[in-house]
Amino acid sequence: MQKRKIDPLLLIGLIIIAGSLFLAVFGNSLAPYDPQEPVGDFSMPPSADHWFGTDGSGLDVFSRVLAAPRVDVAIAVTAAIVSAVLGTGIGLYAGYFTGRFSEIVMRISDILQSFPVFILAMVLVTLTGRNVVNLIFVLAFLYTPIFVRLTRSEVLTQRTRTYVEAARATGNSEFQIATRHVLRNSLAPSLVQLSVTVGFGILLTAGLSFVGAGVRPPTPEWGIMIASGAPNIILNEWWTSVFPGIAISITVFGYAAAGNAIERWARK
Amino acid sequence: MRRYVLRRLAVGVLQALGITIAVFFVIRALPADPVSRIVGMNPTPESIAQARRALGLDMSLFQQLLTFLGFHGNGVFTGSLGTSWVSGSTILSEIAITLPTTIQLIVTSFIVALAVAIPIGMATARRPGGKLDKGVFGYGLFAGAQPEFWWGLMFIFVFYFKMGIAPAPLGLLDPELTAPDAVTNFILIDSLIAGDFTAFKSALGHLVLPVLTLSFLLVGPLLKMTQQSMSRVLSSEFILYQQASGLEKKSIGRSTLRAALAPIITLTGILFGFMLSGAVLVESVFSLNGLGQYSVAAVLNLDFPAVQGVILVISVISLFVYLGLDLLLAKIDPRILVK
């Protein structure tokens, strides 16, 4: 057998994803200081005691960067998984059993997808209450149509294949064919999309709190941190915004890279 | 052709109306109370009832919808989006001021992004696997998903604070200048109409960093699409035939670009529609007071008419953009209309 070379892009992506998940679970315990309690002087530049400095309220930036994945990554991952499961299920049904239900589902997801996403997210989060659970619901709701569409179009091409005929001929029920055979062969696009969606979820979560429509300060959250440092960046107080931004930048790149690598691998 | 346009318009108008009515019901169904914002602390029951009446919230939902649509006086069907619950001015007049700022920002960013992405994409498509090709792949992957508001801040820090070559990131003009008379509300155009070149230069300067931020991200997907589309066309038979016939390089290049343009235009349209509300973060970093920032204020203030108005306007604009692009596509590749 030929020795398989691991795609370096996949490796980078998986390392970053693993790191982000690790911090989402253990970030709080690793943080040297309480991320929500003032620990020293205001607006101190990076030093041996405070690696990333302190922000305008005297909070330790390093501790907050470590603790933030518990909000950002947890929201995005949960929302992405919920929307992937829901969307794949609906897409499988709508694609395999075409009919009126399928039509209605597609029209609804058409309309949902033509909404201005950021404004809709803002409206839904603000009006339901700005907290983590509502953010997860809203993101999951916004991202489900993507998975419906992807799965449905894949199922539409799979259901005419010979293996479906074969499965039918050997006496499988339609439900069994759909859930056992067609589903397994239609998962690749959703898997790619899952990784990409986590990245977008992190960006949306951070963006919403950046404009004041997401989770509330002083929750350790990357978007809030960037926003709190934004007015002072022209006073040379760069560390408050720079470090959480680097964290977002690396994290979303990791999810995008993994998604891209999986896509290339699936195409082989 | 005319029937196609009319049908698309009819479907689109219905869709925009559907979206607006959906938004109308959704914002009223969710548990948020706009009245408490208006009456202030310790309201009396009378003042609450009075405020509800003033906002029209004492009517049934269905009556409120009819009022909004224009069955009782002015409404959507008579070209009015109502008045803001916060400022008291009409929603249309507020959108007329903020929308041009956003359009100006997005259009300039797309011009810059396309001017960068198309030539580089064409060059890399000719030499697949080269250094530039790998660089483009990495950049496209990276810029495809990035926190644009943070990049905006970084550009401010570097180009304004450290290097001092960009103007302060506050608004559309230097603060000491008086704005030219508002004719179109596009500040670049208005300053030209007024013949005020100092204002024009200042407005252009203030546009540099926001445009840099947006196009920095837009170039990623556009570049990737140009490259894919170009290499597909370059390996197609009709280009091979042109090469074999000994046509000039220039004319082969022209027909390649023409054949490769459709997916690039489609992607531009999708990104444009997305940017109408997606530019909000960049607008707020640079305090540009565009439609995005207007919509943030509307949502946070629970200003329901403003929220409905913004969403309706954005839906209608995206509708016209998609239609316009489809017509452009049909012009480039008439086969589309046959399908």
The two tokens of residue B225 are 């699409």
Whole-prediction pTM: 0.90
Burial class of residue B129 in the structure, from the number of CB atoms within 10 Å of its CB (0-12 exposed, 13-18 middle, 19+ buried): exposed
With an 8 Å Cβ cutoff, is A234 touching chain B? yes
In angstroms, the separation between the Cα of residue B277 and the nearest Cα of chain A is 6
**Nearest CA-CA partner of B268 in B333, B321, B206:** B321
d(CA A31, CA A197) in angstroms, rounded, equals 27
Closest residue in B to A197 (Cα) is: B145
Provide the pLDDT confidence category of residue A2 given band limits of 50, 70 and 90: low
With an 8 Å Cβ cutoff, is A65 touching chain B? no
With an 8 Å Cβ cutoff, is A226 touching chain B? yes
Provide the pLDDT confidence category of residue A268 given band limits of 50, 70 and 90: low
Q: Which residue, of B55, B78, B101, is where some domain finishes?
A: B78
Residues of A whose CB is below 8 A from B31:
127-129
Ranges A182-186, A201-205, B231-235, most confident: A201-205
d(CA B323, CA B9) in angstroms, rounded, equals 8
Q: Which residues of chain B have pLDDT under 70?
A: 336-339
Cα–Cα distances in angstroms (integers) from residue B252 to residues B72, B126, B243, B257, in the given order? 61, 13, 7, 9
Burial class of residue B255 in the structure, from the number of CB atoms within 10 Å of its CB (0-12 exposed, 13-18 middle, 19+ buried): middle
With an 8 Å Cβ cutoff, is B280 touching chain A? yes
User: Please, are residues B1 and B337 in contact by the beta-carbon 8 Å criterion?
Assistant: yes
In angstroms, the separation between the Cα of residue B251 and the nearest Cα of chain A is 34
Inside any domain, residue B86: no
Residue from A118, A221, A242, A263 to probe the interface with B (highest B Cβ count within 10 Å): A118
Do B279 and B256 lie in one domain? The reply is yes
- Considering only CB atoms, B144 lies closest to which of A233, A249, A256, namely A256
- Considering only CB atoms, B149 lies closest to which of A207, A255, A260, namely A207
Do B62 and B157 lie in one domain? The reply is no
- Considering only CB atoms, B299 lies closest to which of A126, A257, A260, namely A126
B32:A126 CB<8 A:
yes
Do B37 and B109 lie in one domain? The reply is no
Do B71 and B11 lie in one domain? The reply is yes
- Considering only CB atoms, B147 lies closest to which of A234, A236, A248, namely A248
Do B110 and B64 lie in one domain? The reply is no
Inside any domain, residue B272: yes
Q: Which residue, of B78, B107, B139, is where some domain finishes?
A: B78
Closest residue in B to A230 (Cα) is: B153
In angstroms, the separation between the Cα of residue A234 and the nearest Cα of chain B is 6
Query: Which pLDDT value is given to residue A63?
Result: 94
**Nearest CA-CA partner of B183 in B196, B170, B174:** B196
d(CA B39, CA A183) in angstroms, rounded, equals 55
Do B140 and B222 lie in one domain? The reply is yes
Query: Which pLDDT value is given to residue B322?
Result: 82
Inside any domain, residue B339: no
Q: What torsion, rounded to 10 degrees, do the Cα atoms A96, A97, A98, A101 define?
A: -130
Closest residue in B to A109 (Cα) is: B19
Query: Which pLDDT value is given to residue B336?
Result: 66
A114:B318 CB<8 A:
yes
With an 8 Å Cβ cutoff, is A203 touching chain B? yes
Inside any domain, residue B323: yes
User: Please, are residues B190 and B196 in contact by the beta-carbon 8 Å criterion?
Assistant: no
State the total domains in chain B: 2
Other CB atoms within 10 A of residue A97 CB: 14
Do B236 and B123 lie in one domain? The reply is yes
In angstroms, the separation between the Cα of residue A18 and the nearest Cα of chain B is 19
Tell me how many residue pairs between chain A and chain B have CB atoms under 8 A apart.
128
Checking if the pLDDT of A1 tops 50, the result is no
Do B97 and B46 lie in one domain? The reply is no
Inside any domain, residue B185: yes
B284:A233 CB<8 A:
no
Do B204 and B177 lie in one domain? The reply is yes
In angstroms, the separation between the Cα of residue A197 and the nearest Cα of chain B is 10
With an 8 Å Cβ cutoff, is A124 touching chain B? yes
What is the sign of the dihedral through the CA atoms of A256, A262, A266 and A268?
positive
The terminus-to-terminus CA distance of chain A in angstroms comes to 17
pLDDT in tens, A102-131: 888 887 887 777 778 888 899 999 988 889
Closest residue in A to B270 (Cα) is: A114
The two tokens of residue B146 are 């990035």
In angstroms, the separation between the Cα of residue A123 and the nearest Cα of chain B is 6
The two tokens of residue A206 are 């951070």
Residue entry with tokens 């030499």:
B127
Task: Give the number of C-alpha atoms closer than 13 A to the C-alpha of residue A19, restricted to the C-beta side.
Answer: 16
d(CA A268, CA A264) in angstroms, rounded, equals 7
With an 8 Å Cβ cutoff, is A108 touching chain B? no
Do B175 and B246 lie in one domain? The reply is yes
Do B11 and B97 lie in one domain? The reply is no
Interface of B with A in 60-99 (CB under 8 A): none
Residue B187: CATH number of its domain:
1.10.3720.10
Provide the pLDDT confidence category of residue A203 given band limits of 50, 70 and 90: very high
d(CA B311, CA B299) in angstroms, rounded, equals 11
Inside any domain, residue B337: no
Phi and psi of B178, rounded to 5°? -90, 140
Alpha helices in chain A (DSSP H): 8-30, 61-67, 72-96, 100-113, 117-128, 132-158, 162-169, 174-176, 183-185, 188-210, 222-229, 239-267
Q: What is the mean pLDDT of chain A?
A: 90
Q: What single-letter amino acid sits at B322?
A: Y
Ranges A14-28, A144-158, B191-205, most confident: A14-28
A123:B23 CB<8 A:
yes
In angstroms, the separation between the Cα of residue A28 and the nearest Cα of chain B is 23
pLDDT in tens, B30-60: 777 788 777 777 778 888 888 888 888 888 8
Do B250 and B307 lie in one domain? The reply is yes
User: Please, are residues A52 and A43 in contact by the beta-carbon 8 Å criterion?
Assistant: no
**Nearest CA-CA partner of B310 in B285, B334, B292, B335:** B292
Q: Which residue, of B47, B78, B109, is where some domain finishes?
A: B78
In angstroms, the separation between the Cα of residue B19 and the nearest Cα of chain A is 7
Inside any domain, residue B84: no
With an 8 Å Cβ cutoff, is B138 touching chain A? no
What residue numbers bound the domain in which B28 lies? 2-78
The two tokens of residue B195 are 């013949």
Cα–Cα distances in angstroms (integers) from residue A157 to residues A85, B203, B250, in the given order? 20, 52, 41
Inside any domain, residue B338: no
